[in-house]
């Protein structure tokens, strides 16, 4: 592994948007991303960078005592290297420092790979939001986890 995780900066936006556009049918716009990144009190946006290339990014939001995974993506061609795992570990370690107790996310019902990733961190399905994704009409699975506050370094959430 030669990449590292760090907090996202404005100069990372083009790289993040490349991944967003490659990986999601309804990619975020530059304006949406910049608004999110600017909201530092309640958001944490991070990137995995290798030799100046953005390999992946993660955006989470803290709402009261809950973490919400807003977005997570790995650059095509760099999947299966542990990039998303490391980004999630970082977000959950940050949540632990904020005494955040629970975590929630939505993921497309067909997205088995992401669901497996989240399950490794202790997320479990709790409900379905019908036609959550406007462009595809696909349902979203809502996944929930109780955070243990354990340090990063492996999946950090209780089953």
Contact set with ligand COA (CB under 6 A): 23, 56, 72-74, 79-85, 107, 111, 113-114, 116-117
Q: How far is the CB of 31 from ligand COA (least distance, A)?
A: 20
Instruction: For ligand COA, give the closer residue by CB, 79 or 138.
Output: 79
For the beta carbon of residue 115, count every other beta carbon within 10 angstroms.
Answer: 18
Q: How far is the CB of 118 from ligand COA (least distance, A)?
A: 8
Instruction: For ligand COA, give the closer residue by CB, 11 or 116.
Output: 116
The vertex-56 CA angle with 53 and 58, nearest 5°, equals: 135
Residue 9's φ and ψ, nearest 5 degrees, are -125, 170
Instruction: For ligand COA, give the closer residue by CB, 100 or 143.
Output: 143
Sign of CA dihedral 123, 27, 52, 94: negative
């Amino acid at each position: 592994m030669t990449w590292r995780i760090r907090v996202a900066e404005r100069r990372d936006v083009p790289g993040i948007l490349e991944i967003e556009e490659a990986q999601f049918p309804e990619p975020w716009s530059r304006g949406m991303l910049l608004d999110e990144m600017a909201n530092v009190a309640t958001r944490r946006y991070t990137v995995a960078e290798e030799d100046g290339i953005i390999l992946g990014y993660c955006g989470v939001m803290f709402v009261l005592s809950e973490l919400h995974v807003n977005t997570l993506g790995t650059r095509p061609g760099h999947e299966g290297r542990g990039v998303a795992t490391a980004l999630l570990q970082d977000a959950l370690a940050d949540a632990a420092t904020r005494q955040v107790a629970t975590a929630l996310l939505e993921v497309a019902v067909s997205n088995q790979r992401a669901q497996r990733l989240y399950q490794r961190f202790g997320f479990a399905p709790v409900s379905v939001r019908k036609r959550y994704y406007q462009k595809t009409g696909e349902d979203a699975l809502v996944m929930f986890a109780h955070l243990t506050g354990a340090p990063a370094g492996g999946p950090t959430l209780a089953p």
